[in-house]
RNA sequence: CGUGAAGAAGCUCAGUGGAGAGCGCCUGGCUCAGGACCGGGAGAGCGCGGGUUCGAAUCCCGCCUUCACGGCCA
């Protein structure tokens, strides 16, 4: 096959132009044939696992945002292979998901059909961009061989007690017959159709991610991630230390537990607030207040958390009940208000209006006392128009007066504990993960339940499913496959679409009826562990062999969008930690270095969207300029992590750079046997050093800029072979088809990928002559060319001979001379 | 409101103490002409105000604007 790449074709005419439409398919064919990017069987210590966040193969095809991150990782992969590193650089599909299911609902075709089609489009587009993926390792999360191991991991979680069922309030829309995400509910109506949506408690599978909260937090310390991402994830976990305090309810044999991070402000707690769902609300409410409280609770119940939080007004109702402040003995009123959330802490708070913004607003709105107990100065102030939330010194707090906030916290917590009225406690914002969806196109749970029935439940016999007795499917029976359905319309059963597949759902074993779980897993499930499967994608006996995992983990470089900064990266870390604890993976963390590529905006500086009409289609760009130009342009636009707008004029500049590279190699090919002069040689070696370090630092835009400059110099130098060969090696990770073509024009057999990486000669990187600006009183007057090691005297002498400097010096007296070798000569005169 | 990032030539960006590149623009050459190519050129109060320094885009303090993400977590 390789013989057919005749070197005669490009040789024949000067009219020949760089023609990506011919070159690119040619080399893509070569790579596929020669298996150029196959992952090495026995990688040594020098290994690199470079991973892109795999895409959801949407019907719209590839977006110009995709090639940005993918080109970045490809440059790393290719340049490191050239340097002899064993590289794992795979690609796959996060292919479960709602769009394919919605398409199925509309058309009645199985979501798999549309999914397979979309994957084919994505694969074709990615191959057209010349990425050096090892396509033999492709994975697809919807493939039963993959689903099998997703289900297997779920069973490990289940057996470890980390998967459990709970009743969770969800948005149920009876008209649509489905559960909606918060985003799909607007003002209590469904986004599609405007049907009423109610909050309904529904049985859900939960994963106990909170059990790993501290480790997920601690692990962030050791990981090479963007600071902002680590902060975001840390805040999402939201660890806060404080105290649990017990308030007695007056006239009742009841206590209310609250969580506070400011036990030092306990003397300032002038009221309490319960969340509307708090179990004690009904008992505490007095008859006089019952009607108002019931009405308030009912309204709050039908609001989603999001709607509740949308309103900044502090609404609430007095219950009529009172509690006793455990330190001051004061009677404080108990209110119900929806700004207190049942899901955090204990669902009840002690309200300290003087020192908490929300409590302050509430007290102002409802005329409740405000008592200052912390002051910046140690002296109580007068009235204040906003809460004082800073740290300070305790006042009006009995024996704790005068203590700094931190000391007061510790002292009060210790005393509460002694009196049995409280104790230190740590809280997290992180909640357990709702892991089930009432959808079709997802992984079935490998779980079934006993059924009590007097007939055949498939035929509609009365039956009871014992959800409280979940049974794991035996591992040997995995995967549990999705049933075929006649149609994919959501039904009227909140248990999910699968509940209608009665033949699939109910089965008999040893004369006993059982029912399969009809929920499916969320899209996150497959993406939680795909990076493990890439290490050993065909393994039939395990999610991946221990050897393969030990070889490749952790992922050395992971590139993907910042929108996954919290959820995907947190969920994947959680699964990884569980697998680590069970001895299935060898590293405590999955991902080493993480980078988020920036967003590419439309030419109008707005987010690309169909409605704005500013979408750039990669297929069009490839047709017009070629894949290499698209790659180079996207890398040249700016720093990888920056948000930057598309510019259809500037892309021509990248094309012209590649034109010039191609021309240089044809010049050599046609016999220009020019030797490399010493000045150009210097430039070549400086460029090697610059491009190499820029690639390692992911500064691709500056690497390209350096190669642009070099290409012009090489052209002026008449295309010296030695320089052009080095340029071909340097440019090939960025523009791989062109790199191969240049290498061939220069008379070498393919592939440039295996031709090694140039090494800069350190001796050529230092200049023996330097340009030194001369300033007089800080204003630049001249630039001198001096020996790099010129002394101050030599520099002064040269400066005085310069007419412009002499003129500027004029009659003045020299008061001071600042000479920084290789940088500046500044003369201060008066 | 909070967190993070960024403000530099018309545009997109290099530049960690002494202002540069690409694209665009003007101009000459080449061409029947255009494009491409080659040569030359114009174009920057480096967001604002202070401070440190011989000298600040760069270091320090305050402020403004834009973008991204997050939202009542006691």
Summarised one tens digit per residue, pLDDT across range A17-63 is 788 999 999 999 999 999 999 999 888 889 999 999 999 999 888 98
Nucleotide nearest to A348 (CA to C1'): B74
Spanning CA of A723 to C1' of B40, the rounded length in angstroms is 27
Residue A309 beta carbon within 7 A of nucleic strand B: yes
Tokens found for residue A4: 């057919």
- pLDDT on residue A5: 35
At residue A592, the pLDDT reads 92
- Alpha carbon distance A276, A294 (integer Å): 9
Nearest nucleotide over every DNA/RNA strand to the A358 CA, judged by C1' = B72
Rg (CA), chain A: 34
Residue nearest the C1' of B6 (CA based): A642
- The residues, any chain, with a CB within 8 Å of residue A167's CB and separated by 6 or more, are A201, A202, A203, A204
pLDDT tier for residue A310 given thresholds of 50, 70 and 90: low
Other CB atoms within 10 A of residue A716 CB: 9
Crossing angle of helices A144-159 and A567-581, in 10° steps, is 70
Residue tagged 């075709």 (tokens)? A109
Q: In the structure, what pLDDT confidence band is assigned to residue A10 with cuts at 50, 70 and 90?
A: very low
Each residue's pLDDT tens digit, A344-380: 889 999 999 999 988 998 998 999 999 999 988 777 7
Q: Is the CB of A349 under 7 A from strand B?
A: yes
Kindly provide the b/e burial profile for residues A388-401, where b requires at least 16 CB atoms within 10 angstroms of the residue's own CB. beeebbbbbbeebe
Q: Is the CB of A716 under 7 A from strand B?
A: yes
Minimum mean pLDDT range among A230-244, A380-394, A572-586, A710-724: A380-394
| pLDDT band at residue A8 using 50, 70 and 90 as cut-offs | very low
Quick one: pLDDT at residue A643? 84
Strand order in the sheet with A769-776: A779-787, A769-776, A824-829, A814-820
Question: Are A86 and A49 within 8 A, CB to CB?
Answer: no
Q: How far apart are alpha carbons A287 and A48 in whole angstroms?
A: 70
Q: How far apart are CA A740 and CA A34, in angstroms?
A: 13
The whole-number pLDDT of residue A314 equals 85
For the cut 90, the answer to whether the pLDDT of residue A446 exceeds it is yes
Give yes or no for residue A222 having a pLDDT over 90: no
The answer to whether the C-beta of A12 is closer than 7 A to strand B is no
For A403-422, what is the mean pLDDT?
93
What percent of chain A clears pLDDT 90, i.e. is strictly above it? 54
Read off the pLDDT band of A9 (50, 70, 90).
Answer: very low
> At residue A798, does pLDDT exceed 90?
no
Q: Is the pLDDT of residue A514 over 80?
A: yes
Query: pLDDT (tens digit, 9 = 90+) per residue, A705-747?
Result: 889 888 988 888 888 999 999 999 999 999 999 999 999 999 9
Three-class HEC string of A70-88 = HHHHHHHHHHHHHCCCEEE
Extract the tokens encoding A70. Answer: 């993918």
pLDDT at residue A1, as a whole number: 33
Which class for A777: exposed (0-12), middle (13-18), buried (19 or more C-beta within 10 A)? Answer: middle
pLDDT tens profile A573-626? 999 999 999 999 999 999 999 998 888 888 777 778 777 778 888 998 999 889
Q: Are A239 and A575 in contact (CB under 8 A)?
A: no
Closest residue (Cα, C1') to B70: A232
Task: Please tell me the predicted confidence (pLDDT) of residue A735.
Answer: 94
SS3 track for A788-804: CCCCHHHHHHHHHHCHH
Reduced 3-state DSSP string for A612-681:
HCCCCCHHHHHHHHCHHHHHHHHHHCCCCCCCEECCCCCHHHHHHHHHHHHHHHHHHHCCCCCCCCHHHH
ipTM: 0.88
Residues 665-704 of A with CB under 7 A from strand B: 699, 701-702
Q: Which nucleotides of B are covered by protein (CB under 7 A)?
A: 3-6, 11-15, 17-19, 21-24, 36-39, 54-55, 67-74
**For strand B, is any atom closer than 7 Å to the CB of A609?**
no
Terminal-residue alpha carbon distance, chain A: 78
Question: For the segment A111-155, what is each residue's pLDDT rounded down to a tens digit?
Answer: 999 999 999 999 999 999 999 999 999 999 999 999 999 999 999
pLDDT at A105: 87
| Structural contact between residues A68 and A597, judged by C-beta atoms closer than 8 angstroms | yes
DSSP A41-54: SS--S-EEEEEEPP
Phi/psi for A714 (5° steps) reads -65, -35
Structural contact between residues A739 and A728, judged by C-beta atoms closer than 8 angstroms? yes
In this model, does residue A794 exceed pLDDT 90? no
Question: Quick check: A132 CB within 7 A of strand B?
Answer: no
* Separation between the CA of A61 and the C1’ of B45 (whole angstroms): 47
- What is the per-residue pLDDT for A182? 66
In this predicted structure, which of A156-160, A560-564, A736-740 has the lowest mean pLDDT?
A560-564
- Using CA atoms, how far residue A240 sits from A138, A167, A317, A542, A567, in Å, is 42, 26, 28, 39, 20
SS3 label, residue A542: coil
Judge if the beta carbon of A386 is closer than 7 A to nucleic acid strand B.
no
Q: Is A551 within 7 A of strand B by CB distance?
A: no
The answer to whether the C-beta of A240 is closer than 7 A to strand B is: yes
The DSSP annotation for A563-605 comes to GGTTHHHHHHHHHHHHHHHTTSSS-S-SEEEEE-PPPEEPTTS
Q: Gap from A784 CA to B42 C1', in Å?
A: 25
Whether the per-residue pLDDT at A13 is higher than 60: the answer is: no
Q: Are strands A824-829 and A769-776 parallel, antiparallel or unpaired?
A: parallel
Give the three-state DSSP class for A30: helix
Say what the pLDDT of residue A6 is: 34
Cα angle A713-A717-A718, degrees, rounded to a multiple of 5: 120
pLDDT of residue A175: 74
| Distant-in-sequence, close-in-space partners of A587: CB < 8 Å, separation ≥ 6 | A553, A554, A576, A580
pTM of this structure:
0.91
């Amino acid at each position: 096959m390789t013989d057919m790449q005749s070197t005669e074709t490009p040789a024949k005419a000067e009219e020949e132009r760089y023609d990506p439409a011919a070159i690119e398919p040619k080399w893509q064919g070569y790579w596929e044939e020669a298996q150029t990017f196959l992952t090495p069987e026995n990688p040594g210590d020098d290994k690199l696992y470079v991973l892109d966040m795999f895409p959801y193969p949407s019907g719209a095809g590839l977006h110009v945002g995709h090639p940005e991150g993918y080109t970045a990782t490809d440059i790393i992969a290719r340049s490191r292979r050239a340097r002899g590193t064993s590289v794992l650089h795979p690609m796959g599909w996060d292919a479960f998901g709602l769009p394919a299911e919605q398409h199925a609902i509309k058309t009645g075709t199985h979501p798999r059909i549309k999914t397979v089609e979309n994957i084919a489009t994505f694969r074709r587009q990615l191959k057209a961009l010349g990425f050096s993926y090892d396509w033999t390792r492709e994975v697809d999360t919807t493939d039963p061989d993959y689903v099998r191991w997703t289900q297997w991991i779920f069973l490990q979680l289940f057996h470890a007690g980390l998967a459990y069922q709970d009743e969770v309030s969800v948005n149920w829309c009876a008209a649509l017959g489905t559960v909606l995400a918060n985003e799909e509910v607007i003002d209590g109506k469904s986004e599609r159709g405007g049907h009423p949506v109610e909050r309904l408690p529904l049985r859900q599978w939960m994963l106990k991610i909170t059990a790993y909260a501290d480790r997920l937090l601690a692990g962030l310390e050791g990981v090479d991630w963007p600071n902002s991402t680590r902060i975001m994830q840390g805040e999402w976990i939201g660890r806060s230390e404080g105290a649990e305090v017990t308030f007695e309810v007056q006239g009742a044999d009841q206590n209310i537990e609250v969580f506070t991070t400011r036990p030092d402000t306990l003397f300032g707690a002038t009221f309490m607030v319960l969340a509307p769902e708090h179990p004690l609300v009904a008992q505490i409410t007095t008859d006089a207040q019952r009607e108002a409280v019931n009405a308030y609770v009912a309204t709050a119940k039908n609001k989603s958390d999001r709607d509740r939080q949308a309103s900044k007004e502090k609404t609430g109702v007095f219950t009529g009940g009172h509690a006793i402040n455990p330190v001051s003995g004061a009677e404080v009123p108990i209110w119900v208000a929806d700004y207190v959330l049942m899901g955090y802490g204990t669902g009840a708070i002690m309200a300290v209006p003087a020192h908490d913004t929300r409590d302050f607003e509430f007290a102002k709105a409802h005329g409740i006392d405000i008592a200052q107990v912390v002051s910046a100065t140690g002296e109580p102030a007068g009235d204040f128009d906003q809460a004082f939330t800073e740290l300070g010194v305790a006042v009006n707090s009995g024996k704790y007066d005068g203590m700094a906030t931190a000391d007061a916290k510790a002292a009060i917590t210790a005393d509460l504990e002694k009196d049995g009225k409280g104790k230190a406690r740590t809280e997290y914002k992180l909640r357990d993960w709702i892991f089930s969806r009432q959808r079709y196109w997802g992984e079935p749970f490998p779980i079934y339940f006993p059924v009590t029935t007097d007939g055949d439940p498939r035929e509609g016999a009365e039956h009871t499913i014992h959800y409280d007795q979940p049974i794991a499917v035996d591992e040997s029976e995995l995967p549990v496959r999705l049933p075929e359905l006649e149609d994919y319309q959501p039904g009227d059963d909140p248990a999910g679409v699968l509940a209608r597949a009665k033949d699939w759902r109910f089965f008999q074993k040893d004369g006993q009826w059982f029912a399969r779980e009809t929920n499916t897993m969320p899209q996150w499930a497959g993406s939680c562990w795909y990076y493990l499967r890439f290490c050993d994608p065909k393994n039939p006996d395990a999610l991946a062999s221990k050897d393969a995992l030990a070889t490749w983990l952790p992922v050395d470089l992971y590139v993907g969008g910042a929108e996954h900064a919290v959820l995907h990266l947190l969920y994947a870390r959680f699964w990884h930690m569980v697998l680590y604890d069970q001895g299935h993976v060898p590293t405590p963390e999955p991902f080493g270095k993480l980078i988020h590529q920036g967003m590419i905006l439309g030419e109008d500086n707005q987010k690309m969207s169909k409605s704005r009409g500013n979408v750039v289609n990669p297929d069009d760009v490839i047709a017009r300029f070629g894949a290499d130009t698209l790659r180079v342009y996207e890398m040249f636009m700016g720093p990888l992590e920056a948000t930057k707008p598309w510019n259809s004029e500037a892309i021509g500049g990248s094309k012209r750079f590649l034109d010039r590279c191609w021309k240089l190699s044809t010049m050599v090919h046609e016999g220009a046997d020019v030797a490399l002069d010493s000045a150009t040689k210097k430039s070549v070696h400086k460029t090697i050093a610059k491009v190499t370090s820029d690639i390692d630092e992911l500064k691709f835009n500056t690497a390209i800029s350096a190669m642009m400059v070099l290409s012009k110099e090489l052209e002026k130098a008449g295309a010296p072979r030695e320089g052009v060969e080095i340029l071909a090696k340097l440019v090939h990770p960025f523009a791989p088809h062109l790199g191969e073509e240049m290498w061939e024009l220069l008379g070498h057999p393919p592939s440039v990928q295996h031709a090694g990486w140039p090494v800069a000669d350190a001796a050529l990187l230092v200049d023996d002559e330097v340009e030194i600006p001369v300033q007089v009183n800080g204003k630049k007057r001249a630039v001198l060319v001096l020996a790099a090691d010129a002394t101050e005297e030599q520099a002064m002498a040269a400066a005085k001979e310069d007419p412009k400097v002499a003129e500027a010096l004029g009659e003045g007296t020299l008061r001071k001379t600042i000479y920084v070798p290789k940088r500046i000569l500044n003369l201060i005169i008066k």
